[in-house]
Structure 1
Amino acid sequence: MTEVTLSAYLAFYLYLIMLVVQWAVATFSKAKEPHAVPGKINDDLSHDSFIFRAHRTFHNTLENSALFIGTVLFAFVINYQSPLFAMCVWVYLIARIIHMVLYYAIATEKNPSPRSYFFLIGVIANVVMLVTIGLRLVA
């Protein structure tokens, strides 16, 4: 296994750990509330509530996970070993972690919020990964 591949594997592994952390934060913050119902969040909550922000952080990551996980696994299946690809996996991971921290820390309805920029960085990293895979396939 090359260093490039190991680096991409490590970033992907840490992404999966981040998902578990987000799930735990969302689940346990909500479970502490009186009369909490599993799988249901109060419709009256908004960004001023940490429970809402933790729930949205986790769900936003889930909404973006299909494309990221699909892209990364496809690259692994075709044994794509590009330093640019590995760097993009790391950029995506770091952008999602910063997005998570900002979502937990800042209660704002403002759009764009500071977390929006890191969301966009993650999207761009994912698009670059898709393009590099496409270029590899047509080469």
Structure 2
Amino acid sequence: MDFIIPYKVTVLVLGLSGFLFWVQLALADVVSIKAKHTPGFSIEQNHSSFLFRSHRALINSNESAAILILFALFAIFSAANPTWLNGCSLMYLAGRIGHMLCYYLDLKLLRSIAFATSFVSLLGMFVTGLWGWL
């Protein structure tokens, strides 16, 4: 598995992203329990509610998790430039952390910027992988 060594940062980002999503899940569950929210029932869509924001942060992370994994695998198996892939992966992680914190703190503009950062970095991972084919 020597081929993976140049991509160790990307592999680390995959693991750290998994941990970040786990933290979001744990926090959303704790907040739900404290709010005495009945499982299986909808949460009121209200940005002033931390219960809503904690669940939306988790849902948004879940929406991009599969894309992160697919693009990372695609780029690694395409022998993409490791510097670019690792950089885009780190940018994704920074964007996801920023998005989570801004969602929790209800900082709407910064949350959108953090989301855009992670969104663009995913595209960068794809392009980096595609470049490996050219």
Total equivalences in the alignment = 132
Larger helix percent: 2
Distance in structure 2 (CA, Å) of the matches to 1:107 and 1:119:
12
CA distance in 2, matches of 1:90, 1:51: 28
> Is 1:99 matched with 2:95?
no
Decide whether the 8 Å contact of 1:5 with 1:86 is kept in 2.
Answer: yes
- In structure 1, list runs of 5 or more residues that go unmatched: none
Q: Which residue pairs with 2:29 in the alignment?
A: 27
- The separation in 2 between residues aligned to 1:57 and 1:100, in whole angstroms, is 6
List structure 1 runs of 4+ shifted beyond 3 angstroms. Answer: 1-4, 76-81
Mark the runs of 5 or more structure 2 residues left unpaired by the alignment.
Answer: none
In 1, Cα distance between equivalents of 2:25 and 2:76: 25
Q: Is residue 15 from structure 1 mapped to residue 11 from structure 2 by the alignment?
A: no
Counterpart of 1:121 in structure 2 is 117
Distance 1:80 1:40, change over 3 A: farther
CA distance in 2, matches of 1:76, 1:135: 11
Q: Percent identity?
A: 29
Matches within 5 A, 1:6-85: 6-34=8-36, 36-43=37-44, 45-80=45-80, 82-85=82-85
Aligned residue identity for 2:18: L
Question: Which residue is equivalent to 2:88?
Answer: 88
The alignment yields a C-alpha RMSD, in angstroms, of 1.8
1:71-106 CA distances to partner (integer Å, 9 max, x unpaired)?
Answer: 112234445451111110000001100110010012
In the alignment, the residues of structure 2 paired with residue 93 and residue 107 of structure 1 have an alpha-carbon distance, to the nearest angstrom, of 18
Kindly indicate whether the alpha-carbon contact (under 8 Å) linking 2:89 and 2:121 is maintained by their aligned counterparts in 1.
yes
